[in-house]
Amino acid sequence: MEKANKNILAAKLMSDIGIKIVGVSDSTGGVYSSKGLDVVALMRHKCDTNSVRNFPGSDNVTNEELLELPCEILCPSALAGVITEKNAPRIKAKFIVEGANGPTTPEADQVMRKRKIFVIPDFLASAGGVTCSYFEQVQSNMNYFWEKDEVLGKLDVKMTAAFRAAYDLAKKRNLGMRDAAYCIAISRVSQACKDRGWI
């Protein structure tokens, strides 16, 4: 299953926590089933055929069509700029969790906000990897290494706090989540520069 791409692995993770996965895509196109997909079987199919297409019990769709199909949570996890001002009005998801870098254009972001679609921006939603890289640096500096459960626990605390801070600011100032997260990031960098005497 090493060939399974990032989208399928993300779907497997969501499936493991009880989310019904109804659509997945790769560079060849996508598959969709309103009844849900067996993600483990889909991973095997991808490894055997080098594509998610023609997976038994699902319908083949284009990557563009997949974005507009009925679902609760949409996770664009591969390419930048796939949600645009053109297709944003047709997206049916209630939540967008950005796994890719920049999957939503600024114009589409405004459409999502007007439609009250809750967007967790890329640099918040996919910050787990870089946060774990920071943990690796801390462990190296200490010359002391944590067990996996401790790393995951610390990651949960950091990611939950980051989400909560952005969410609370968004509510307080009537901002979108992306703008709120940017405000927090910029203010923290500014404060760090002041604390170090750089400005």
For residue 44, what is the domain's CATH number? 3.40.50.720
Inform me whether the pLDDT recorded for 181 exceeds 70: yes
Residues 100 and 117 in one domain: yes
Residues 117 and 95 sit within 8 Å (Cβ to Cβ): yes
The total domain count for the chain is 3
If you search the block for the tokens 């095997």, which residue do you land on? Answer: 44
Residues 133 and 156 in one domain: yes
Could you tell me which residues are beta bridge partners of residue 73?
Answer: 95
pTM above threshold 0.75? yes
Report residue 105's pLDDT band, with 50, 70 and 90 as the boundaries.
very high
Domain range holding 87?
Answer: 72-125
Residues 22 and 73 sit within 8 Å (Cβ to Cβ): no
Average pLDDT value for residue range 49-70: 96
Cα distance between residue 159 and residue 9, in whole Å: 20
Last residue of a domain, one of 125, 149, 170: 125
